[in-house]
A = this chain, B = another copy of it.
Amino acid sequence: MKRILILGGGFGGVYAALHLEKRLRRELDAGLVEVSLINRDNYIVFQPMLPEVISGSIGLVDTITPIRRLCPRTNLYTRTIETIDLDRRRVVAAAGFGSQQLSLEYDHLVIALGNVTSFAGQTGLAEHALPFKYLGDALVLRNHAIHVLEEADIERDPEMRRNLLTFVVAGGGFSGVEAVAELNDFVRAAARSFRHIDPTEIRVVLLHSGKLILPELPPSLAAFAQDLLMKRGVELRLEARLGGATADGALLASGERIPTRTLVSTVPSGPNPLVAALPCKMDRGRLVTTPHLELPEHPDVWAVGDCALIVDARTGEPSPPTAQHATREARCVAENIAARLEGSALRPFAFKALGKMGSLGHRSAVAEVFGVKVSGFLAWWLWRTIYLMKLPGLDRKIRVAVDWTLDLLLPPDIVQLRTDRSIGLRREHYEPGEIICEEGGHGDWLYIVVDGEVEVAKQVPGHGSVPLRRLGPGDCFGEIALLGDHVRTATARSLTAVNLLAVDRDAFQALFSTLPPLRDFVSRLIEERMAPSRAADAAAGSARLMETTSPRG
């Protein structure tokens, strides 16, 4: 029996399984061939419809299709892949409920692992920017947008309110433009249900590094899209590049800071670490393939989709990383594997894209189909029709068609669906001179300095802010507020760029009451700090700069 193993459940992986099931139907039924697929989730995400999850115009789960339904003859392993061993022809996946890893051997391997969102090397983005790639990301963004509207509705400080009501999307390609269009429509429509939000205070900003958004499209369509977005209230910042982020601001490469609590970054993606670790020929993080989609040094190992560099046999150009191409590559790979099994000739990959389309929200879109440019309502109608046809699975087609019909009739949904309230730990980034926590404020977090320097200061009547101590890597602060229902006893401010680890009340109590070295450490810390803090209150003026007394590593 020949075992075909597919890694990844995106368009490349799932369509490879689908075409293999069709092409090798008899062999599968006779037990001569086995097709397996490993993917972290049990569904495929239909990316083009992801932006509509933001506004809720498509039901949460209707943009995704269960892989089991699409490929009923494929063995699906819903696990995380840990290692790929090309020499031993074996793939190991993480343990599930038990403690045993899963080890799968193969005769043919199809690598369709795509790429991953990577904010590495960009200051503060991993901590504070919202990615936009997976279904979970769209759901998080939607809930976050509702959350800031909820808060803005009851916020009395005008500066804070404008901060809450500013939404920034970085990246003017298809994905950024579609996200900003849906976000803008949704926020402006939803705001009508909030009694105290002034719609003129809402600001939606699109950052794009080039002179014209949608570089994939002809300039006339891009210009149309720009005009339309501006007409709908989106602020376009062209030739502006995102440089970093903090909890309450987007930092541009120019040094400018846009105060916001909602920064969506669609730009950065890097190679999947599993692919990057393979001992294969790579080109800018992508696996180099033969024209038949096989790896040159590894016969019977194939690669498709965004993780592969595939040169089109007709044009000699590398294929772009789109769903259209991934599905065609998947068909080609399925045919070539079948040909190899039968001993017949392989065919090289060649495909001319049918067109490109981008939705602009609220019944408008831009499209170039078979070389014809279309924009506005007609393009939107085309967009919906074509994508509905392309959406895998008949039941999903019906559900989305119904969603769209209801969406024309009903107001947008504003329920904030928080499924998980326990956070535990999070990382934060601050630029120099920012306030981390403020005296008298309320705080449920203990902070540990990972790197950088933090100054802790206290208001002393008649003497203003008196610095108490400086903290460096390995030091903690904020512990006093966690020990009872105390307010913050001092203000902490970043002196340099600072990275922090924040531990919430529950995690703090679980860890620090259980682990003796931590318990000792915190009780010593508090003893030391309560004393000088009382002293400072009494001295009331001797503005000493006290070095930290906490133990350093």
Contact = CB atoms under 8 A, between A and B. Distances in A.
A102 interface: yes
Nearest to A45: B415
A384 interface: no
A200 interface: no
Contact of A59 (B41, B59, B136, B139): B59
A3 B517 CA distance: 51
A507 interface: yes
Contacts of A77: 154
Contact of A140 (B98, B419, B438): B419
A520 B553 contact: yes
A513 to B, nearest CB: 9
A135 B246 CA distance: 32
Contacts of A136: 418-421
Contacts of A517: 517-518, 520-521, 551, 553
A69 B64 CA distance: 29
Contacts of A56: 61
A104 to B, nearest CB: 10
A487 B549 CA distance: 40
B61 A61 contact: no
Given A416-B43, A516-B553, A517-B518, A99 B438 contact: yes
Interface string A482-501: 00010010000000000001
Interface in A36-67: 41-43, 56, 59-61, 64-66
A546 to B, nearest CB: 19
A68 B135 CA distance: 26
A526 interface: no
A303 interface: no
Interface in A454-478: 473-474, 476
Given A66-B414, A395-B410, A99 B146 contact: no
A177 to B, nearest CB: 25
B416 A419 contact: no
A133 interface: no
A425 B421 CA distance: 13
A101 interface: yes
Nearest to A137: B419
A151 B96 contact: yes
Interface stretch (A231-239, A355-363, A440-448): A440-448
Nearest to A77: B154
A261 interface: yes
5 contacts: A42-B414, A69-B193, A101-B442, A398-B410, A423-B424
